[in-house]
Amino acid sequence: MSTSTNSHVAALQDKQFRHLIDGGLQDSTDSFDVINPATGEVFARSPDASRSQFEEAVTAARRAFVGWSKAGFSERRHQLERLADAMQQRQEELATMLTLEQGKPLAAARAEIARAIGIIRQLVKIEIKPEILREDAAGRAELHYKPLGVVGGITPWNVPIVLAAPKITSALYTGNTMVLKPSPYTPLTTLLLGEIARDIFPPGVLNIVAGGNALGQWMTEHPLIDKITFTGSIATGKRVMASAAVNMKRVTLELGGNDAAIVLGDADPKEIAGRLFAASFANSGQVCQSIKRLYVHDDIYEEMLVELAAIARSVKVGDGLEDDSDYGPLQNKAQYDKVLELLEDTARQPGVRILAGGHALGRPGYFIAPTVVAGIAEGTRLVDEEPFGPVLPVLRFSDVEDAIRRANDSRFGLGGSVWTRDVEKGAEVAARLETGVAWVNHHLGVAAEYPFGGVKESGVGRANGLMGLLRNMEAQLIVVPPAV
Ligand code: NAD
């Protein structure tokens, strides 16, 4: 660990974290533990927002909406660019905080903060203008877009800042104000972001409050919140959608995935194994859109297994603060236990071969060895559920039609990919995947200029791109007769 990382760690461990409410930083009477997943030990405490603090945040957001919604796109763009600049200045502190509470290696944490900054800058470049639908002797019809009011943002623990940044930007740029709640497992980097944002936006425009799941429920039920933008599990997404009905809240739901990648028989295992591995094991497999089912053609199946297993055995899993760690721990004990249980279930399946990993690392913290599983089929928990951990089932196929059918035979529909030397053939197969995003010879990571989201139970609506921004606005049709 470098001396500068050391000094950030020391400062962050002593720091008092506070909510951002109505332009001020606030403590709470109650607080909860935050655990470093690399040690399994409590290293800090987060304030736990009371009901009245939450109400104060909503009231402040409602009040601030009056001015902010009138500020115009260029002013709001300017303020969001200032946020991006301020984050850049404190990038190292934010990244260190992220590693401490989330577990990912420092290099990945730095990349997450850099990506979040890039997303802010990219989204505010998108122009939103009224559309003239018709203009002739009969008159004119215009479509105008207006902000909704107060947007509630709820984020999970896997990539807290890369998810907070587009939620904040999409809501604020389009003229809404916001109350944002991070996951109770990883609240601190988002609270630090709130501290940075305090000096930028007018009071009440952005409020960040930490708390448990009950706070999320208060948000989804609150009559003065007009939209919920939620990222998390399908089970919670369903609860959010049900309680959002209370005042017909708009929702954008970015939920779980069980992405399939299909490798056709003409692909070169040696050439692509590294990229497939990275797209599956990034963030220790805790990415909504990572490869979670790998379908490989018979002709290259065994060779692909050898390549993947060799990588799995060669990477270094360790504390994210250690310079040579490629992958960190699982983020929390519940997820760690869930993945270990899945591995036990997998080992019991007839014909299964565990080619690498398959076990926890014998050390404190929530570490699991990168695991490659062969000889597994649909109908098992590992293949049918979203593992959200460093475990990749590799399935065999001989007919591409069969691979497409099996990839689509899922309640999930987030992303998918096709790997082949023939990119046009790949594009044809990709278009037949029932997913919100499909790639050829690539998987994971969608630029903020494009809409991102899932079909089936993987989500409702799209984030990012013009389509995602417009989900924070309501269209109004204005019909004007010809002048007399
Ligand atoms: P989770 O659903 O348990 O929690 C997500 C957030 O919802 C947390 O902030 C939590 O406090 C809050 N919450 C819990 N109960 C609530 C309720 N009743 N009402 C409102 N809010 C409530 O999810 P998680 O375990 O933190 O995250 C992992 C999941 O997120 C995985 O399934 C993953 O695929 C998914 N995910 C999806 C995307 C995407 O873009 N599609 C991105 C990242 C993660």
What's the pLDDT band for 229 if we cut at 50, 70, 90?
very high
CB of 459 sitting under 6 A from ligand 1: yes
State pLDDT tens for residues 440-473.
999 999 999 999 999 999 999 999 999 999 999 9
The string of pLDDT tens digits covering residues 3-12 is 888 888 988 9
Architecture in CATH for domain 259-447: 3-Layer(aba) Sandwich (3.40)
Domain residue ranges in the chain:
3-255+458-476, 259-447
User: Which pLDDT does position 283 carry in this prediction?
Assistant: 98
Model confidence at 14: pLDDT above 90? no
**Span 35-42, mean pLDDT?**
98
Alpha-carbon Rg for the chain in angstroms: 23
Rounded to an integer, the average pLDDT of 53-72 is 98
Q: How far apart are CA 199 and CA 466, in angstroms?
A: 28
Q: Name, in order, each residue with C-beta under 8 angstroms of 96's C-beta and a sequence gap of 6 or more.
A: 5, 8, 9, 12, 106, 109, 321
Q: Is 183 in the pocket of ligand 1 (CB under 6 A)?
A: yes
The region, left, alpha or beta by phi > 0 then psi within -120 to 50, assigned to residue 203 is beta
Distances (CA, A) of 288 to 15, 327, 432, 474: 31, 17, 21, 28
Q: How far is the CA of 302 from the centre of ligand 1 (A)?
A: 36
pLDDT at 10: 87
115, 158, 221: residue to mutate for ligand 1 pocket, most atoms within 8 A of CB = 158
Q: Distances in Å between the alpha carbon of 30 and those of 69, 211, 247? A: 34, 10, 30
Given pLDDT bands bounded at 50, 70 and 90, which one contains residue 13?
confident
- Substitution site in 213, 218, 458 for ligand 1 pocket (most atoms within 8 Å of beta carbon): 213
Which tens digit of pLDDT belongs to each residue from 190-221? 999 999 999 999 999 999 999 999 999 999 99
Ligand 1 and 444: CB distance under 6 A: no
Average pLDDT of span 232-248: 97
* Ligand 1 geometric centre to CA of 236 (Å): 6
**How much distance in Å is there from the Cα of 438 to the middle of ligand 1?**
23
How far, in Å, are 151, 309, 346, 370 from residue 341 at the CA level? 37, 21, 9, 15
Q: What is the 160 CA–ligand 1 centroid distance (Å)?
A: 11
Classify the C-alpha dihedral 440-444-447-452 as positive or negative: positive
Atom index in ligand 1 nearest the CA of residue 288 equals 34
Give mean pLDDT, residues 294-319. 98
Nearest protein CA to atom 13 of ligand 1, as residue: 213
Looking at ligand 1, which atom is closest to the CA of residue 156?
Answer: 26
User: Can you give the pLDDT at residue 1?
Assistant: 75
Quick check: helix, strand or coil at residue 362? coil
Tokens in use for 99?
A: 């590693």
**Environment class of residue 118 by beta-carbon count within 10 Å: exposed (0-12), middle (13-18) or buried (19+)?**
middle
Inter-residue contact 205 to 82 (CB < 8 Å): no
pLDDT at res. 313: 98
Q: What is the mean pLDDT of residues 50-77?
A: 98
- DSSP assignment string, 160-198: HHHHHHHHHHHHHHTT-EEEEE--TTS-HHHHHHHHHHH
pLDDT at site 278: 98
pTM: 0.98
**pLDDT mean over 101-108:** 98
Pocket test for ligand 1, best of 236, 240, 246, 251 (most atoms within 8 A of CB): 236
> Which residues have C-beta within 8 Å of that of residue 278, sequence separation ≥ 6?
444
Q: Is the CB of 233 under 6 A from ligand 1?
A: yes
**Closest protein CA for atom 18 of ligand 1:** 217
> How far is the centre of ligand 1, averaged over its atoms, from the C-alpha of 255 (Å)?
7
Tens-place pLDDT, residues 342-351 = 999 999 999 9
Task: Quickly name the fold that domain 3-255+458-476 has.
Answer: Aldehyde Dehydrogenase; Chain A, domain 1 (3.40.605)
> What gap in Å lies between CA 284 and CA 159, rounded to an integer?
12
pLDDT of residue 4: 82
Q: What is the pLDDT of residue 430?
A: 98
Produce one character per residue of 385-397: b if its CB has 16 or more CB atoms within 10 Å, e if not.
ebbbbbbbbbbbb
Nearest 5°: CA angle at 443, between 441 and 444?
155
Atom 14 in ligand 1: which residue has the minimum CA distance? 213
- What is the average pLDDT value for the chain, to the nearest integer? 97
256 CA distance to ligand 1 centroid (A)? 8
List, for residues 400-420, the tens digit of each pLDDT value. Answer: 999 999 999 999 999 999 999
Cα–Cα distance measured from residue 482 to residue 460, given in angstroms and rounded to the nearest whole number: 40
Q: Which atom of ligand 1 is nearest to the CA of 234?
A: 32
Distance from the CA of 210 to the center of ligand 1, in angstroms? 14
- Catalytic residues, by residue number, are 254, 288
